[in-house]
Structure 1
Amino acid sequence: MTAISVSSHTTTQPLPTRTAYGYVALAAAIGAGPSIWGSAVKLAAAYDFITPNAWTDWTQESIPALAVLLCGGLAHDWWVARTQPGPARQRSATIGLVLVGALGACCVSGWPWDTPTAAGVGKLLTIVLLGCFARELLLRHGIKPSRTGLGLGPAADREFVTALAAGVTLIAVILTCTQIRLYLFDYFPVYAPGARGFGSPFQETATYAWTSVVEELLLCAVVVTLLAAARRPVWEWLLVAAVLRLMPHLYLGLSALDTLLLGAGAAWLFYRYRDVLALIAGHFTYNTVVMDLVSPTITPADLRARWVVVAFAWIAVVLADGLVKTTRRFSPARAERDHLAMTTFPHS
């Protein structure tokens, strides 16, 4: 029986529910806070609650920079409290973090370098800080992150096959949700475009990488790990992951309801396959490769043809999943039993 790995300095009790939700909110604010704020501004402007002006533009530039600094600062403080490094080591880490954080904050805010290259560098530096933040957040409560599964451990012995199944399944889920969204566009208004375009291929690639890390690491894997450590029921963390995936897409109005399915599906895939790197890779592959191959179209004939692509994607899922050596199947009763087993803490 596998249990969440807990280091020797922690308690044998589960993570308190209030603490788990507090850190879930913090992770969501740091990872998706700028996107959620931008979505809220677009939605409020669509209903004439506010008029976009210099202040709203400034907040959409400054909030990402503040999120970067907060992310790095918390990761550093938690690392110092956990490891108690010597003065020289702590000073070196502090200087390095200040440089990375300051450069990242400047790049994502567009000051003083408002260029596509600087924006791309900012996204990549943010990814590094988000990874440190997620790792220290879990270690703060004794949850030892594995290389791919954070605090939940591996799902199978053959990691490559497991990763392949997880990534392919996520791509199929995204394809399905995108197809649903295209139909929703016919019935519900879109309040504002989601992206302003990219100034260079480097900026586009870096932004897609950042999006994949934020949504799959912070809004999915960290959420599942923390709520599992708090021994919350499966349906609860599926719901939380679904709502958090929806919030940055509220500018799409009701047309964004497909992201509820995507958020819950990604959370289930992480719990099933225990591989966050595979989900990040699958999300990134969809954004950079698959999306261009099946670009959204508006004619009914093209929409029907896209269902063929979706069908082939799910056939690939069945084939990949059949290669995985795991007893976990899509059974609510089995999932609940596995969940209870995984959240049984060993004694120190």
Structure 2
Amino acid sequence: MQLSREDLLKAYRRMVMIREFEEAVHEEFSAGSIPGFVHLYAGEEASGVGVCMHLNDNDYIASTHRGHGHCLAKDCDEHAMMLEIFGKKEGLCGGKGGSMHIADLSKGMMGANGIVGGGPPLICGAALTAKTLKTGGVAVAFVGDGASNQGTVFESYNLAKILNLPAIFVVEDNGYAEATSSRYSVAGSQVNRGKAFDIPAVEVDGSDFFAVWEAAREAVERARNGGGPSLIHSRVLRYYGHFEGDAMTYRPADEVANYRAQKDPLMQFRRRVTEAGLLDGSALDEIDRSVKDRIAQCVVQAKSAPEPTEADLLTDVYISY
């Protein structure tokens, strides 16, 4: 299936938006402007966007603690996201969630999650709702390679299979479960785990938008047509540490530089579409410029935006019955 020119531009813009957003958060957190804790998604853009291009606002996703990329891939508003990460009153969650708990239910984004493996049980509930109400919706859980070993994930595979839920599990294997290489933290390909639960499973190069897009297309069509759950093992690489401030002494010094030069998701996408004559390089350059300006504007506005008041912070925390 061929993507339209409009879809290609949309996909590239979302990937660039994630990259620029994360680069800006990296700089601002390093400068001490952002409170709390931050985990960045830079380098994994093609994985989240390749999946979410098939989804709409009636479909749900659950994220990991590395949630900014999934938010933007699901088309959440970048300005409200930046306000949230800066802890401001008009943020996506009123400044209460911050980076690790950012969410937007109006877009079907059930939230980033500080609990390793906490997302799959949530999307089983969303998938069960979609099936019961016959909405045609699907639910997608993004998990990391470390989370793939959690009992919550295995139980979710089992439940989704037994109930034939429209659920998709995307294991984003970024090479490291925190500081442990996935060579030691994950026993081979996730495809074998899918087979163990009798769930259709495939492994893809997560740096290749088109490979992810095709795998996700099949999984989403299967789910919408009543074919049950699927599993996608997406091999990616994060450009920054497990968290901001991570010295990354556990990884080879040239690993990221070599990956950027050979497999950077944005670079691959640009080369593929321009060589095929699908898009002109000038159109992509314009997206690069406009998105960079937009994110810079978001940062400036977030810095000057009002802080939550005491009343704001207590709203939704305590309730009287």
Q: Which of the two has greater helix per residue? A: 1
Higher radius of gyration, 1 or 2: 1
Query: Which structure has more strand as a fraction of its residues?
Result: 2
